[in-house]
Amino acid sequence: MTLIRNEQTKLTATFLNGIGIAVFAVGGLAPVFSSLYSEGGPTNFLLAMSVVCFFASLGLHWLARTILRRLEP
């Protein structure tokens, strides 16, 4: 039963980490690069939202690492 629980725990952590990567890529990087190549350039709101998405992705990664602490030997 321990092996099954460990695999489920790893799957949950991987899922959360994947969401964190997606939040960073879509909300943090893509709008900044998109605005750099447009005429208007990045706005303060866009930069603020990118920072929020960056910290949200860090929080999801931290949560995934916390979940991995539940692994049993």
Q: Give residue-wise pLDDT tens across range 29-65.
A: 999 899 888 888 888 999 999 999 999 999 999 999 9
DSSP 16-44: HHHHHHHHIIIIIIHHHHHHHTSSS---H
Backbone dihedral region for residue 41 (phi beyond 0: left; psi -120 to 50: alpha; all else: beta): left
Confidence of residue 73 (pLDDT cuts 50, 70, 90): confident
Q: What is the pTM of this model?
A: 0.87
Q: Give residue-wise pLDDT tens across range 5-33.
A: 999 999 999 999 999 999 999 999 999 89
